[in-house]
Amino acid sequence: MTSVSPAPTPVSFNDEPLILVDRQDNEVGYASKIDAHKGQGQLHRAFSLFLFDGPERVLLQQRADLKPLWPSFWSNSCCSHPRQGESYAKATHRRLLEELGVESQLFRLYQFEYQASFGDIGSEHELCSVYVGNVQPGAVITPHPNEVKAWQWFDCSDVDKWLADEPASFTPWFKLEWQELRSTYQTTLHRVLGDAPVRHSQG
């Protein structure tokens, strides 16, 4: 397991203008990130990214201790939100580079709505698009320490067992998404990840 050393420059901000949407993903307004996550949360646009270096090995991250919602929980490779005026394509590639220091062609699999509360601190209420991407074995990953506490490549079968044995270790959205990837989209994963051209940065 690879831990991450602290660094000062943030890439996430409480006043980021997030895109509020209806259940059909039509824009209905904007709210700061902190306001969008207060109480039961306001439905907003989001994305989750899963990076693989083959169809059966996935990169997971442990969220940083200072994250307001689900700190230190294990989750997918990267997740965030498009900002006001930002397309999904621009937002996903921006965040992948900011958070993990890596680039990849991304494939959108599906979109779903979920709501989950983290005690009385706040909630996620997201219309979340799920993407997968392929990176070369040995690609240099340089996670942002304000976002990522630790990270590791895992065999998918080991993730299955870990999730079954210790579901409380994972974020709620990861559990929903992993179930879909391992059932509904398993054949699609093998197809797209085998054909995906890749690029990766050195940090």
In a domain, 26, yes or no: yes
In a domain, 5, yes or no: no
CA atoms of 192 and 203, how far apart (whole Å): 26
Q: Give the pLDDT of residue 198.
A: 36
Q: In terms of Cα–Cα distance, which of 97, 112, 107 is closest to 132?
A: 107
Looking at the 3D structure of the chain, how many domains does it have?
1
Is the pLDDT assigned to residue 39 strictly greater than 70?
yes
- The active-site residue out of 79, 99, 147, 177 is 79
In a domain, 67, yes or no: yes
Q: CATH number, domain at 123?
A: 3.90.79.10
- The active-site residue out of 16, 99, 126, 147 is 126
pLDDT digits (tens, 9 = 90+) for 41-100: 999 999 999 999 988 899 999 999 999 999 999 999 999 999 999 999 999 999 999 999
In a domain, 130, yes or no: yes
Q: Give the pLDDT of residue 201.
A: 33
Q: Give the pLDDT of residue 5.
A: 56
Q: Give the pLDDT of residue 4.
A: 58
CA atoms of 78 and 59, how far apart (whole Å): 9
Q: Give the pLDDT of residue 59.
A: 97
* Confidence at 2, pLDDT banded by 50, 70, 90: low
Is the pLDDT assigned to residue 7 strictly greater than 70?
no
**What is the residue range of 142's domain?**
16-195
In a domain, 89, yes or no: yes
Q: Give the pLDDT of residue 109.
A: 96
Q: Give the pLDDT of residue 11.
A: 77
pLDDT digits (tens, 9 = 90+) for 114-164: 999 999 999 999 999 999 999 987 789 999 999 999 999 999 999 999 999
In a domain, 9, yes or no: no
Active site annotation includes 177: no
Is the pLDDT assigned to residue 202 strictly greater than 50?
no
Q: Give the pLDDT of residue 197.
A: 38
Please tell me the pTM assigned to this model: 0.89
pLDDT digits (tens, 9 = 90+) for 159-177: 999 999 999 999 999 999 9
In a domain, 152, yes or no: yes
Q: In terms of Cα–Cα distance, which of 182, 144, 184, 145 is closest to 50?
A: 182
In a domain, 21, yes or no: yes
| Residues 178/116, Cβ–Cβ less than 8 Å | no
| Residues 102/78, Cβ–Cβ less than 8 Å | no
Active site annotation includes 27: no
